[in-house]
Chains A and B, each alone.
Chain A
Amino acid sequence: MKRRYAMAVDTRRCVACSACVIACKTENRVPNGGFRCWTVQETSGTFPDLALEPRSERCNHCADAPCVSACPTGASFVAEGGIVAVDRRKCTGCKACIASCPYGARFVHADGHVDKCTFCLHRVAKGGQPACVETCPTKALTFGDLSDPSSPVAELARRSRVKTLKPEAGTRPQVFFLT
């Protein structure tokens, strides 16, 4: 069975503290000014009838990834488990992928290539969890294989109220949010 890596972000637990951001930056040596993940606090309503959705966000590892189609050199590709990845040796830094991404998930690394979340594939390959998942103090992040129906992430996808970001973009994100 082919693996389909996915992440669930439980906005009911998340406090947008940015522990994920810092853990990601140190784990992956992300240089100053670049972010592979970030946090958002989306507010709706007017005082005092307000609602707030804190979110930890990153590349959605879309099943229909516009960045992969937009990449002229093949540097952007779909890796194991459906992860959208960048081969920095092939990347010319043309930014076509950045323009095509509806989520602002990519940035130009200080070394000139485009960089983004890898779901910490190097850790996952060794049986670990992405750094953001490991540190999250609220356990808001669940990573796993969606094609394994017994995996926690698959259970969350089935059981909970689930949404993806900008579904109208037709990208079929593999990061989903519990609300």
Chain B
Amino acid sequence: MARYTRRQFIQIGAAAGGAMAASGLATRWWGLDAARAEDPATDGDQVVPTFCELCFWNCGVLAHVKGGRVTKLTGNPEHPLSRGRLCPRGAGGTGLLYDPDRLKKPLIRASKRGEDVFQEASWDAALNKVGEELVKVRERHGPEAVALFTHGFGGSWWKHFMKVWGSPNIGAPSYAQCRGPREAAFTLTYGEGLGSPEPIDIANARVITLIGSHLGENMHNTQVQELAEAVGKGAQLVVVDPRFSVAAGKARYWLPVKPGTDIALLLAWMNVILTEKRHDAEYLAKYATGLDELTAHVATKTPEWASAITGVRPELIRESARLIASARPASLIHPGRHTTWYGDDTQRLRATAILAALLGSWGRRGGYLVTDKFRLAGYPLPKPPPHPGARSKDDMPKGGGFPVADEVLASGLCDATKPGRALYDLKAWIVYGTNLMQSLPAPQETAAAIQNLDFIAAIDVLPAEICGFADVVLPECTYLERDDDLAAPAYKQPFVAIRQAAVPPMYESRPGSWIAKELANKLGMGDQFPWADAREFVETRLAASKVDSAEIRRKGVVVGKPIPTCEEEGATPNITTSDGKIKLYSVELQQLGFEPIPDFHPQEEAPPGMFRMLSGRAPTHTFGRTTNNRLLAEPFPENEVWVNADAARALPFPLASGDRVVLVNQDGVRSDPVRARVTQRIRGDCVYLVHGFGHTAKGLRQARGRGASDSALTSRYKVDPIMGGTGVNVNFVRLEPAGSLA
């Protein structure tokens, strides 16, 4: 066989290509050689497995490190949540690491709260200040007067801090501002909530129903992977959304319901399924109670009845119900995630959960799975000191008076900060990793509540709006610069994943684990933080759990034994209600004075000339936390307000895509100018914004002033009486031309 030099080989290849002009050939193969040699050289000299923190999904990431810098992030093939693939945010984590706007040094406030004026301080001075202020609050009001708001995996250190400190007031907006109604509804129906990641079997579903969930734009990596896999295998989609989402574009049936009428549609679907006897009677007889009551309840909820409410043709309701039933039990009614819409959300999610039960999909392949956690030993701690004079459990604002809430309401903590609103007032906040000015509704109220505090500290990576309200700002390093606790969420395949620093912390930022421990030391709580650092903490847990440290550090993850996840694999559906039955009719709700079976109640209509404001997600962004990331801002620098084309023509001023408008809500709150997207892809009675834009913090130099803030326009919210969730789709806006600001 003839041997060629590489250059000869390439020359032959190029000539055989035949696409080039002969005159160029002599010089062009030189270029080809250059091209082969031209490697951007972004492969790491070192590849560090860790897990992502661009969102709460915590996918497995491989950090490529070269010359002390992270050059790129790729998906860890071993990790069950990333499976070798990252979403744009995960791949864009270097944009956070190298964000020039990062918090670089501890800051102590130098003017009025909210004015965002600070002086740099040493860690010692800043932590002394935090410690002194917390002690003052404890002396005057007790340890429970300190509340923690937390979001993200690094919050574990601060939750531990609060436990030792002696306050149960730990809240995350991910409950009452997000998935709380879903957790309450599934707990009422099946005995347990869904958690994260959701135990759903998208990959094996033959029909997937999305109700207001725009998976694909909502970029939960594994779920999107499974959605594509299911579509590839011929699964059919039913999508209920006032907007023609990307998922709707793949659907067999798109039902553009009038916003706020989902419950009517769900009842009509149940009507079709029950009257046509398409439900799983055998499964329900075995596992559920309340079928007779449900059947009677939905008897009048015909597609014709629902059509008048939802604006969806009766035939479309009927046909989609039949398609949904045809695939049972492998017919997945997706439970959604951001579910705080109208204040009746627990009932809407109850209807979703009941529909899933009619299909017999709880505990079945292609439906809801049985999951398990990788068993891990805790870090051994000395017995915590008692808290003399601690308040009794009943005397805490935890549930905020909402009987079914099973987590602290972040909004409830904010309410308890307004004097006299709770059993006792909260006087200090520690805010970790959540920009409350965007994550709580009515930022106007949050800002006012903060002025009542004796003290507020923020721990964050970027100078978000909430930092501008803090007395002390502590700069945390990013997830790529720190070790954290082990991650072992319940999943269909139990696993444990490790977070390990790829590079040392930049500037004077520090890992949250270090900050919490140092603060605990200053407060005399050091014996409850006995670990040297996060790495030693993790090593001790790994050793006690008999997980090989070298293996998990090399692979990033250790996967446990497969478990049976559905009835088809020998598992029993996990029903943990009081009597082990699925509650189609909820005696618990009835006894609490709520409707035992969901019913439809109309929402307030938009005033003339106004649109209902809806919000959602873009695949490139996680709330407002990534909008300053210059890498992610490239494909998606600002949000646009989606306006139906016919509705745009009916406006009193001409409006075309790209024109800037100002949104003015029912309370006169005005947005920053935002570009319009005039489109067929949305109903005419609502407008849509991607959440997380319209930042005002002066330190966010990329994100500031880009797009409109749906949060600021959410001056009104409707509280779910069952679990305290804050429904935000109850705001109305009118459009004004942005005029000379354009």
A residues in contact (CB < 8 Å) with B: 2-3, 10, 12-13, 15-19, 21-23, 25-29, 32-33, 35, 38-39, 41, 43, 45-48, 50-54, 63-65, 68-69, 74-75, 77-83, 85-90, 118, 121-122, 125, 131, 134-140
Contacts and interface: CB of A to CB of B under 8 A. Distances in A.
Contacts of B28: 74, 77-78
B21 to A, nearest CB: 7
B193 interface: no
Contact of B635 (A3, A22, A63, A74): A22
B620 A134 contact: no
B139 to A, nearest CB: 50
Contacts of B365: none
Contact of B19 (A19, A64, A138): A64
B634 A21 contact: yes
A32 B95 CA distance: 11
A29 B40 contact: yes
A81 B10 CA distance: 10
Contacts of A13: 228, 231-232
B228 A26 contact: no
Given A13-B228, A79-B10, 12 more contacts: A23-B74, A47-B646, A50-B254, A50-B680, A79-B36, A83-B35, A122-B36, A122-B39, A134-B85, A135-B91, A137-B224, A138-B225
Contact of B86 (A19, A65, A122): A19
15 contacts: A19-B90, A19-B91, A22-B89, A22-B620, A43-B679, A48-B244, A52-B244, A78-B28, A79-B31, A81-B13, A87-B34, A131-B74, A134-B85, A135-B86, A139-B232
Contact of A48 (B40, B86, B254): B254
Given A41-B246, A118-B35, A22 B19 contact: no
Contacts of B634: 21, 25, 32-33, 35
A70 to B, nearest CB: 11
B249 A54 contact: yes
Nearest to B36: A125
B359 interface: no
Contact of B683 (A47, A51, A122): A47
Interface in B20-60: 20-21, 24, 27-28, 30-32, 34-36, 38-40, 42
Nearest to B12: A2
Given A46-B680, A47-B683, A87-B31, A135 B85 contact: yes
Contacts of A90: 27, 31
Contact of A15 (B72, B224, B254): B224
Interface stretch (B215-223, B289-297, B480-488, B494-502): B215-223
The list of the 9 closest CB pairs from A to B, nearest first, reads A52-B249, A87-B31, A138-B228, A15-B216, A17-B619, A26-B72, A122-B39, A77-B28, A22-B91
A25 to B, nearest CB: 6
B678 to A, nearest CB: 12
Interface string B226-254: 01110110000000000010111110001
Interface of B: 10, 13-14, 16-17, 19-21, 24, 27-28, 30-32, 34-36, 38-40, 42, 71-75, 84-92, 94, 216-217, 219, 221, 224-225, 227-229, 231-232, 244, 246-250, 254, 256, 619-620, 630-632, 634-636, 644-646, 679-684
B14 A79 contact: yes
Nearest to B632: A22
A118 to B, nearest CB: 7
Given A18-B636, A21-B88, A78-B14, A47 B31 contact: no
B680 A45 contact: yes
A51 B249 contact: yes
Given A21-B88, A39-B635, A15 B228 contact: yes
Contacts of A63: 19
Contact of A12 (B13, B39, B250): B250
A137 B225 contact: yes
Contacts of A122: 36, 38-40
Contacts of B228: 13, 15, 137-140
A79 B246 CA distance: 36
Contacts of A35: 634-635
Contact of A82 (B17, B89, B630, B645): B17
A143 to B, nearest CB: 15
A10 B250 CA distance: 12
A27 B246 contact: no
A83 B19 CA distance: 11
A21 to B, nearest CB: 5
A68 B249 CA distance: 37
Please indicate which of the listed interface residues B73, B85, B90 has the most CB atoms of chain A within 10 Å of its own CB. Answer: B85
B320 to A, nearest CB: 14
Please indicate which of the listed interface residues A65, A74, A140 has the most CB atoms of chain B within 10 Å of its own CB. Answer: A74
Contacts of A25: 631, 634
B16 A137 contact: no
Given A29-B42, A51-B249, A137-B224, A19 B85 contact: yes
B689 to A, nearest CB: 17
A125 B33 CA distance: 12
A51 B681 CA distance: 9
A42 B186 CA distance: 38
B674 to A, nearest CB: 19
A68 B224 contact: no
Given A47-B644, A79-B35, A121-B35, A12 B231 contact: yes
B249 A2 contact: no
Nearest to B679: A43
Contacts of A52: 244, 246, 248-250, 681
A87 B36 contact: no
Given A19-B85, A22-B92, A52-B246, A43 B681 contact: yes
B13 A80 contact: yes
A67 to B, nearest CB: 12
Given A13-B232, A17-B620, A54-B246, A135 B224 contact: no
B85 A77 contact: no
Nearest to B90: A19
A77 B635 contact: no
Contacts of B17: 2, 78, 82
Contacts of B227: 15, 138
A14 B231 CA distance: 10
A171 to B, nearest CB: 11
A104 B545 CA distance: 55
Contacts of A54: 246, 249
A82 B14 CA distance: 8
Contacts of B249: 41, 50-54
Nearest to B23: A74
A161 B19 CA distance: 27
Nearest to A3: B13
Contacts of B632: 22
Given A17-B88, A28-B42, A47 B681 contact: yes
A16 B228 CA distance: 12
Contacts of A39: 635
A137 B31 contact: no
